[in-house]
Amino acid sequence: MRKLWGGAFGAETDGLVDRFGQSIHDDLRFWRQDVTGSIAHARMLGATGILSTEDAATLVQGLEAILAEDAGQLPMDVEDIHTSVEVRLRELVGDVAGKLHTARSRNDQVATDARLALRDEIDRLIPLVKALQGVILEQARVAKGWPMPGYTHQQPAQPITLGFHLLAYFWAMQRQGWRLERLRELVNYSPLGSAALAGTNFPIDRQSTARELGFTGPIANALDATSDRSFVLDTLHVTASIMIDLSRLAQELVLWSTAEFGFLRLDDGVTTGSSIMPQKRNPDMAELIRGRSGRAIGNWTTLAATMKALPLGYNRDTQDDKPAMFQSLDLTADCLQLAARMLSGATWNRRRMAQAAEAGYSWATDLANALAAHGLPFRKAHEVVGELVRALDARGGKLGPWVYGEFLPLHLEPEQIEALRGRLTAHASIVARESEGAPGPKAMIAQLKRAAGLHRKVAFASIQ
Amino acid sequence: MRKLWGGAFGAETDGLVDRFGQSIHDDLRFWRQDVTGSIAHARMLGATGILSTEDAATLVQGLEAILAEDAGQLPMDVEDIHTSVEVRLRELVGDVAGKLHTARSRNDQVATDARLALRDEIDRLIPLVKALQGVILEQARVAKGWPMPGYTHQQPAQPITLGFHLLAYFWAMQRQGWRLERLRELVNYSPLGSAALAGTNFPIDRQSTARELGFTGPIANALDATSDRSFVLDTLHVTASIMIDLSRLAQELVLWSTAEFGFLRLDDGVTTGSSIMPQKRNPDMAELIRGRSGRAIGNWTTLAATMKALPLGYNRDTQDDKPAMFQSLDLTADCLQLAARMLSGATWNRRRMAQAAEAGYSWATDLANALAAHGLPFRKAHEVVGELVRALDARGGKLGPWVYGEFLPLHLEPEQIEALRGRLTAHASIVARESEGAPGPKAMIAQLKRAAGLHRKVAFASIQ
Amino acid sequence: MRKLWGGAFGAETDGLVDRFGQSIHDDLRFWRQDVTGSIAHARMLGATGILSTEDAATLVQGLEAILAEDAGQLPMDVEDIHTSVEVRLRELVGDVAGKLHTARSRNDQVATDARLALRDEIDRLIPLVKALQGVILEQARVAKGWPMPGYTHQQPAQPITLGFHLLAYFWAMQRQGWRLERLRELVNYSPLGSAALAGTNFPIDRQSTARELGFTGPIANALDATSDRSFVLDTLHVTASIMIDLSRLAQELVLWSTAEFGFLRLDDGVTTGSSIMPQKRNPDMAELIRGRSGRAIGNWTTLAATMKALPLGYNRDTQDDKPAMFQSLDLTADCLQLAARMLSGATWNRRRMAQAAEAGYSWATDLANALAAHGLPFRKAHEVVGELVRALDARGGKLGPWVYGEFLPLHLEPEQIEALRGRLTAHASIVARESEGAPGPKAMIAQLKRAAGLHRKVAFASIQ
Amino acid sequence: MRKLWGGAFGAETDGLVDRFGQSIHDDLRFWRQDVTGSIAHARMLGATGILSTEDAATLVQGLEAILAEDAGQLPMDVEDIHTSVEVRLRELVGDVAGKLHTARSRNDQVATDARLALRDEIDRLIPLVKALQGVILEQARVAKGWPMPGYTHQQPAQPITLGFHLLAYFWAMQRQGWRLERLRELVNYSPLGSAALAGTNFPIDRQSTARELGFTGPIANALDATSDRSFVLDTLHVTASIMIDLSRLAQELVLWSTAEFGFLRLDDGVTTGSSIMPQKRNPDMAELIRGRSGRAIGNWTTLAATMKALPLGYNRDTQDDKPAMFQSLDLTADCLQLAARMLSGATWNRRRMAQAAEAGYSWATDLANALAAHGLPFRKAHEVVGELVRALDARGGKLGPWVYGEFLPLHLEPEQIEALRGRLTAHASIVARESEGAPGPKAMIAQLKRAAGLHRKVAFASIQ
């Protein structure tokens, strides 16, 4: 294996050691960023007179030629991407390639590559979050008045609408977009020029390389620039957080598409069959999203454990941050798309949802509220309705004239009782709930409008 | 155990069930926030006419009396803090207490409590981050020119200064302060009025309660408001991130105070002795910080695993988010203070650090750079210096006239060689490194000024 | 705070330091084990002549007096349990108490305490695993022939019986019992006499103390004895593994007791109501089990991160192993009992389960198998049944004469077709599946017998 | 992509879905086990008459031909390894290939593959544990009398020997071997014949397939057989536990090879240089081991989070268990070898270790013990020696006649004092510590003999 070092060593490292330490297969992912960073560095070396104008121009030309080539031209029998690019550069421009590494180290180089690559990844994720929000918004508009049970403890609690339920995920994704943009702010500083850990005695210009690479500015301390991986842990946190949100959605899609719930039929494109059970429509994509949220959680734990108690200055342990980071970014990007794909192709069974919304006494809270509005202390109203539910349960859930008896202690007028009975439907319950953020029709229109307004903006400037 | 519910139940829950589900001992932590939230709710109920002005006034009065009392007056033989406060309120104001729960549920109440309490905790942590930065800054100013080895791979790489090394932690803490402030923005929205999951049919005014409680505004979707715990996971991430930074500092303090390094003597106040080995000066506080970063990592994992694949709507599983959250917040607050305490009492052994900075050929990079500046391609310069180091090693590390032979291939003039020899000290190496963010004297003054400027600001508005 | 050391220190450690390092509140949990270990040590000191017979007798007497007292007599204004016991001992027997620590250190003492306490905890857990298995076995016997859907991907796959499903948990618990017993073997070695890390120059007898304390023998290397915490990580793994099994059961109980499934009614003792929704029967205990499995997972992660990269020899970081260990043990013990409690009080809705077993084409695999047994290659049979299911779906799930058309390509005789039709019930499907480990009646009787045989044994000597 | 199902589906799944669900690239790892399992299944189908003798023979022949081929013949444009093998089989033997899946499902097939593959992996790891123990044992024998400091809290505590320190790792590895063998016992049961989740109505013979595949027996419950992944979590625990042990060794190797400790020079084969600092000898392999222990920890967390709250019956989430499992197994195998490689090539600096052992008052405990043996209560002896250490510290660590003054309060005879002074060396301290498991010469010979005896055995039948 070709290496950038070796002067002080007599013996050859053996095969396992080479394989174990090799990162080129992971690094290849960010070869463009590596070359781009080198171009900025080479230009700066020329502009500051550290290299001659000709040498700098030759280096830039060679690097641009690499950018224009396919990654397939980069040698893979090397330790890492930095070596690979340098070897290729030497093939293209000759020994002047050796001058590219002036006033630079692999330590600041890899930190620069990681930040550039991560910035690109964030810019890839953000539109996917927007796109999922778009699908949610569209479906929520259509289903804004479709009754379904609202659950707490996975028991029917109060009737809501499907549109209202789906919008909860819109806001979750709004937070995720906001988190991604804050992360982008944090990441967007330049380690380039920090060299191994402590800067350099060459008169480099870190402002110019930072500017050329689109960074907000150089990182203020060279040791910090090469030691910090907290932005990678942030990335693993945000991706895990998105995956946890998606795992909750996936769980609901799995649940709702069970034979027993039957609220939902996922389309053929995202379900799979069984090699042995011909009737199966398995929500595999939802299951895989749910499962891969476990991987996203494990990746955060991996890096947290790795970074714990690591002294400052580059340590080889941190090599493993990038496979975890890219894996989490990739699976998050995939799952955001799959979630949108599943929702947009879903066929909802309005009838089953509406039936479930009527069942299970989910109007009981509203009735208790109504009694309270008639002057009963809330706790007392709660007790009365609790007894009513027990009585109904004992009678197989059927209402009858006996119900009036239940209300006698309240000394209500017959008209009041009729009004109360009118409330005992999911529809009546939903339309009455018009508090801000509730599923009542006016409240929903307001919420949809607010969501659409935020969705039209390019950025995630506000949390809600 | 006294409970807020029970109408629908015949049998009594048994002892284990009661104990297992009880959260009052954890909740007591945020009793003030619970009462404060209730006051805002009661005022709103009065202002909107949902309760009579008298009832509302009675409730507010009672709640303010509870705030004025000691927490010791709150009954503990209850399930949770909400019940405890209501029971106490009933003792103080009678049956009208039952009206407080109108248009509210424990689901939005506990979410409100958690956000209020977390906001207070963040406001407690931020000054502790500032205080630690202050200690770092002070010590970095004093030690800005004290040579010490800079390490990569825990091997001496290039000489730096203690001040430069310490400042790396200043910037790490600047990021943490920034993260905490972003978290505060995210948290500061009001779930109050979301009721169980779907709002209410009472004409509540969520804007007014949000305003009274200092929130930016109400959360837009009632289901989201009661289901979301991602802000708690954010909290566990930021605290884990701070703890990982502190564990790295702790690891360095442990290392530097070993007999072998001897850079540092921690003061008596933060070291402990041994019951059997009278000579020991154990860096227990640094070890405990290091150890407790493991706990902070485990707490993130706990909640991530808990929230994964949980359907929306309140689920009892989330009860466990608060013990983890408060534990991580507390240990982070403690460790920020202990880290400041350890640093401010530390006695540095400048001589040992300077000796170590001279040893280990840590000037080698500078020499290679100098040769490169004389026109050698960097890779060639690197090879020549590598051979020199091997030759020195074989001769027990001593320089001699033979060195000149090493440089012959470069065809240097004697004066050039003398100039190069002058570079072979830690001091020369440090003062020459004046790139932005490097430990050279001018660069350090600039960095200290920048840090001090940020430190003077109340907020952590910028990352660096 | 009273401490066992202090000679080398001038200044007093401050309040935060004391509080942060104090472990007495956690340690109190194993005060009995601490005293018991000390009795063995004191006896050995006497028997070997290291202490005089009188001194040893006095120490043993004093320690036995402490054992006989309430823990309330132990002072709590101390660092740890070892100090607390020694202070109390001094109150009881005077200055001779100072001799107890001869040839011992807190390092081997705490390791001994932890192993003794853990052994007791395992002995507490094992019968709880047996008890849960007992409940499962009992219910499985009753429900061995009750049809229910068997699910894969949470979609109905093939009809099974409730008894068959429940027995899956019997075997899971059998593995857990086996794991606990293997853990007990591993744990049961004595660190006592390893002193701080390297044994002692006193002529101690480690065999005798190991024997007296019921250990298999002394740990072979004193440094290993005081550095190893892998048995605690094993404990956190086994408890997490049990909790994951219980979380799967809890998830099914939650699912099955939804209004939509309706297979199960949990009894009043383990469900709770709502403060706002009177009709709710929340499966809180199942939710809490599910949630606390997250805590058990986080505790493993905590210790794994803590132990990673820790040099040998006692490090203060390991102080935090015990709170995590006892918390996981306690919640596992609680949850084993709660799971048994929930199952034993459950009311099953046989009708709903049977209906669900008939629905959803779950007989399709059996039909494909039957066709294959008639000579069709399995893949072809699978395709034919797949088409039948699609045809049924299009006709609203109703069978009719058209079905015969479907079978025509198979050229079956009418009697064969009738025989196949007979298979299209859950009951027929179940009784036909008599392979080893399947839910068919004979296979179930065999499986129940095997399970009962293992359950009757005191130990978990075999995995199944 | 070619699939085994499809009858019930109209639309084609799209590209992302295919890619996201595809496991063939991970599965290829266990293609041999998949084919081997299929051979056993095919033989059994023939022996039981479920297939004709000819069909069974054809299948077996085809499968054996696949085994004899290179894996390169297996198609990769398929979902998983089961499909790949079946497609290839069809190419070789024609349509009869379709009969192989009779009385089997991918659910029991993948569970069988996983257990077979894991058994092979354990059999690969066990000799690597033995080999590392062999290197440790060899080095411990050589270095059994080489003084070095024994540390607690990373502070010198008492002198030990390098051999004694290294043996601590021998015992740690003995436990790991024992854990691996217990895991092998647990894993070695056959799921084959459990079909999708509930057995089959074909008269299969699970005993015979279990026997042929070398399993202890069939798993007792078909649902359990296809749902259980706890053995994978066990695997991830044991590998993480091994990696944590190795990370502790790696940490010590990093520490000991710092310029400041200087105990150790790792050989060129396992260290690497720097692209910018020619003098560096970086312990990269040790750092990578340390870092990858973080990955092993994260993999456990991944699967624990994935399995939590998953209902029984195959769920697609569990597809992700195998990448994590094989990754942890591979990195553990690599790191066991690298640790052995690093140790066997290490050059120890006996002089530096011995000097460090003399420094730091590490004889103080022995002196306190000696005073205690002269009749002083241990606590008093501890105090006296503590004062002596403080006095020495104030005098720059030099002993002198003033020391006698320190001992006056003890009323010792001059000869006694001389004897005590004789103890004030590392050598004297070590040779006096002859308690079982201590580093004294006789104790070490006994410990080495015990270790060698266990090492000679093929199995890890006992813990120590």
- Confidence check: pLDDT of B366 > 90: no
Of A197-201, A369-373, D272-276, D329-333, give the lowest mean pLDDT range. Answer: D272-276
With 0-12 CB in 10 A as exposed, 13-18 as middle and 19+ as buried, what is D179?
buried
Q: Where are the domains of chain D?
A: 15-102, 107-146+161-196+219-352, 356-456
Q: Is the dihedral of CA C224, C230, C231, C232 positive or negative?
A: positive
Residue in this structure with the two tokens 């000898």, named with its chain if needed: D281
A300 residue type, one letter: W
In angstroms, what CA-CA distances link A447 with A146, A176, B210? 16, 19, 17
What average pLDDT score do residues A250-272 get? 94
- Chain D residues with CB-CB distance to B382 below 8 A: 275-276, 278
User: How wide is the angle at C-alpha D6 spanned by C-alphas D5 and D8, nearest 5°?
Assistant: 120
CA–CA distances in Å: residue D261 to residues B155, B290, D118, D353: 11, 22, 41, 8
Distance, in Å, from the CA atom of D294 to the CA atom of D297, rounded to the nearest integer, reads 5
Q: In percent, how much of chain C has pLDDT > 90?
A: 75
What pLDDT score does A8 carry?
Answer: 45
Please work out, in degrees rounded to the nearest 5, the angle formed at the alpha carbon of residue D251 by the alpha carbons of D249 and D257.
Answer: 100
Is residue A400 predicted with pLDDT exceeding 70?
A: no
pLDDT tens across D315-325, in order?
999 998 999 99
In chain B, the N- to C-terminal Cα span, in Å, equals: 53
Shortest alpha-carbon distance between residue A98 and chain D (Å): 11
Contacts of B230 (CB under 8 A, 6+ apart): A172, A175, A241, A244, A245, B307
Distance CA(C398)–CA(D461), nearest Å, equals 61
Q: Check whether A73 has a pLDDT greater than 50.
A: yes
| Residue in chain A nearest B384 by alpha carbon | A7
Instruction: Quote the mean pLDDT of chain B.
Output: 91
Chain D residues lying within 8 Å of A303, measured CB to CB: 294, 298
Q: Closest approach of chain D CAs to the CA of B281, in angstroms?
A: 7
Q: Do C415 and A304 contact (CB within 8 A), yes or no?
A: no
Regarding predicted confidence, which is higher, C386 or B314? B314
Report, as residue numbers or ranges, the catalytic residues of C: 153, 274
> Can you name the residues that pair with B347 across neighbouring β-strands?
B265
Label residues B87-110 b or e (16+ Cβ within 10 Å = b): bbbbebbeebbbbbbbbbbbbbbb
What's the rounded Cα separation, in Å, for the pair A139 and A149? 17
Q: Which of A247-251, B75-79, C364-368, D273-277 has the highest mean pLDDT?
A: A247-251
Contact assignment for D150 to C201 by CB distance below 8 Å: no
Bigger pLDDT: A215 vs A367: A215
Taking 90 as the threshold, does the pLDDT of residue A313 lie above it? yes
Residue D141 has pLDDT above 80, yes or no: yes
Using a CB-CB distance cutoff of 8 angstroms, which residues of chain D are in contact with residue C436?
193, 199, 204, 206-207, 218
Q: Which residues on B lie below 8 Å from D155 (Cβ)?
A: 257-259, 280-283
Distance CA D87, CA D84 (A): 5
Testing the interface with A: which of D34, D267, D272, D334 to mutate, by most A Cβ within 10 A? D272
Structure tokens, A203: 């008169």
Query: What pLDDT score was predicted for residue B175?
Result: 98
Q: Looking at residues D41-47, what average pLDDT do you find?
A: 98
Q: What is the DSSP-derived secondary structure letter of residue B50?
A: S
Whole-number pLDDT of residue B18:
86
Cβ proximity of D245 and D292 under 8 Å: no
A18 interaction partners in chain D (CB closer than 8 Å): none
Residue B409 has a pLDDT of 59
CA-angle at B308, arms to B302 and B311, nearest 5°: 130
| Contact yes or no for B309 and A204 at CB 8 A | no
Q: Rounded to an integer, what distance in angstroms lies between the CA atom of residue A338 and that of residue D158?
A: 61
Average pLDDT of the segment spanning C230-249: 98
Question: What is the overall mean pLDDT for chain C?
Answer: 91
Mean pLDDT, range A343-364, rounded to an integer: 89
Give pLDDT, residue B362. Answer: 73
Q: How far apart are CA C50 and CA D377, in angstroms?
A: 12
What is the distance, to the nearest Å, from the Cα of residue B259 to the centroid of all Cα atoms in its chain? 30
Phi, psi of C125 (to 5 degrees): -70, -40
CB contact under 8 A, B274 and C315: no
Quote helix, strand, coil % in chain A, to nearest 5. 65, 5, 30
Give the residue from D312, B79, D221, D231 showing the smallest Cα distance to C250: D312
- Chain B: give the shortest CA distance to residue A311, in Å: 5
Assigned token pair, B56: 């509302």
Sequence-separated (6 or more) residues with CB below 8 Å from residue D437: C193, C194, C199, C206, C218, C219, C220, C221, C222, C225, D443, D447
Question: Quick one: which H or E segment has residue C407?
Answer: helix C402-407
Q: How far is CA B68 from CA A77, B215, C269, D126, in A?
A: 73, 23, 37, 66
Lookup: tokens for A357: 């919304």
| Least trusted range by pLDDT, from B29-33, C95-99, C203-207, C289-293 | C95-99
Residues 6+ apart with CB under 8 A from C362: A277, A279, C149, C150, C156, C157, C158, C159, C426, C429
Q: Does C10 touch chain B (CB under 8 A)?
A: yes
pLDDT at residue number C203: 96
Banded pLDDT at D378 (limits 50, 70, 90): confident
State both tokens at A287.
């299951």
Condensed to tens digits (0 to 9), the pLDDT of residues B333-345 reads: 999 999 999 999 9
**pLDDT higher than threshold 50 for residue B8:** no
Packing angle of the helix pair B284-307, B230-256 (nearest 10 deg):
160
Q: What is the pLDDT of residue B80?
A: 93
| Interior/surface letters B184-206, b for 16+ CB within 10 angstroms, e for the rest | bebbbbbbbbbbbbbbbbbebbb
Interface check for C330 against chain B (CB to CB < 8 A): the answer is no
Q: Which of A196, A290, A291 lies closest to D276 in CB terms?
A: A196
Q: Pick the catalytic residue: A41, A153, A190, A247? A: A153
Q: Which two tokens stand for residue A124?
A: 């890839």
Least confident range of A210-214, B248-252, D342-346, D413-417 = D413-417
Read off the pLDDT of residues C129-169 as tens digits, 9 standing for 90 and up: 999 999 999 999 999 999 999 999 999 999 999 999 999 99
Say if A294 is an interface residue toward chain C (CB within 8 Å). no
Q: Are A193 and A199 in contact (CB under 8 A)?
A: yes
Instruction: Inspect the interface and report whether the beta carbons of C294 and B303 lie closer than 8 Å.
Output: yes
C278 touches chain A (CB under 8 A): yes
Return the pLDDT at C406: 62
Residue C280 main-chain phi, psi, to 5 deg: -70, 140
Of the candidates A71, D406, A89, the one whose C-alpha atom is nearest the C-alpha of residue B377 is: A89
Contacts of residue B276 in chain C, CB cutoff 8 Å?
101, 104-106, 195-196
What sign does the dihedral C153-A299-A308-B239 (CA atoms) show?
negative
- Yes or no: say if B196 and B175 are a contact pair by the CB < 8 Å rule: no
Search chain C and give the residue with CA nearest D304: C297
Average pLDDT over residues D295-307: 98
Mean pLDDT, to the nearest integer, of A37-58?
97
Neighbours of chain C (3+ CB pairs under 8 A): A, B, D
Read off the pLDDT of each residue in A54-66 and give the average, rounded to a whole number.
Answer: 98
Q: Which residues of D205-239 are buried (b: 16+ CB within 10 A; e: fewer)?
A: bbebbbbbbebbbbbbbbbbbbbbbbbbbbbbbbb
Q: Test B379 with A196 for CB contact under 8 angstroms.
A: no
Note whether B21 contacts C284, CB cutoff 8 Å: yes
State pLDDT tens for residues A142-180: 999 999 999 999 999 999 999 999 999 999 999 999 999
Residues on chain C touching A351 (C-beta within 8 angstroms): none
- List, in sequence order, the alpha helices (H) in D345-433: 350-358, 364-373, 378-394, 402-407, 414-422, 426-432
- For residue B412, what pLDDT is reported? 64
- The residue behind tokens 């284990």 is B16
Tell me the pLDDT tens digit for each residue of A320-353. 899 999 999 999 999 999 999 999 999 999 999 9
Window from A325-339, A355-369, C93-107 with minimum mean pLDDT: A355-369
C112 touches chain D (CB under 8 A): no
Q: Which fold has domain B107-146+161-196+219-352?
A: Fumarase C; Chain A, domain 2 (1.20.200)
Q: Note the pLDDT of residue C8.
A: 45
Looking at chain A from residue 150 to 209, which residues have their Cβ under 8 Å from any Cβ of chain C? 152-158
Nearest to B278 among C7, C285, C324 (CB): C7
Q: Hey, what are D205's tokens? A: 């013979």
From the list C10, C30, C101, C90, the residue with the least C-alpha distance to C321 is C30
Residue that has been written with the tokens 């580093």 in this structure:
D439
Q: Check B199 against A435: CB less than 8 A apart.
A: yes
pLDDT at D7: 47
pTM, entire model: 0.95
Q: How many helices and strands, by DSSP H and E, does chain B display?
A: 19, 4
User: What percentage of chain D reaches a pLDDT higher than 90?
Assistant: 75
CB atoms D316 and A287 under 8 Å: yes
Residue among D63, D78, D65, D68 nearest D28 (CA): D78
Q: Which residue of A has its CA nearest to B300?
A: A301
Compare B400 and D422 and report the one with higher pLDDT.
D422
Nearest to residue A328, comparing CAs of D302, D315, D29?
A: D302
Q: Does A317 touch chain D (CB under 8 A)?
A: yes
Q: What is the pLDDT of residue C367?
A: 79
Q: Does B281 touch chain D (CB under 8 A)?
A: yes
D394 touching chain B per CB within 8 A: no
Q: Which residue of A has its CA nearest to C361?
A: A279
CB contact under 8 A, C152 and A280: yes
For A81, the token pair is: 């991407």
- Residue A421's alpha-carbon distances to A386, A407, A414, A416, A441, in angstroms, are 16, 11, 10, 9, 21
Report which of D336, D137, D138, D131 is spatially closest to residue D250, judged by C-alpha positions.
Answer: D336
State the smallest CA–CA distance between residue A438 and chain C in angstroms: 16
Mean local confidence (pLDDT), A224-243:
98
Q: D14 — contact with chain A (CB < 8 Å)? A: yes
Which chain A residues touch B153 with a CB distance below 8 Å? 313-316
| Catalytic residue IDs of D | 153, 274
pLDDT of residue A404: 63
Our CA angle for A297, A303, A305, nearest 5°, is 100
Query: Average pLDDT for residues C118-125, to the nearest whole number?
Result: 98
- DSSP per-residue codes, C135-157: HHHHHHHHTTT-EEEEEETTEEE
- Summarised one tens digit per residue, pLDDT across range D180-199 is 999 999 999 999 999 999 99
The token pair that represents C368 in the structure block: 């494909």
Query: Could you name the CATH architecture of D15-102?
Result: Orthogonal Bundle (1.10)
Which among A302, A325, A341, A342 is the top mutation candidate for probing chain D, defined by the most D β-carbons within 10 Å of its own β-carbon? A302
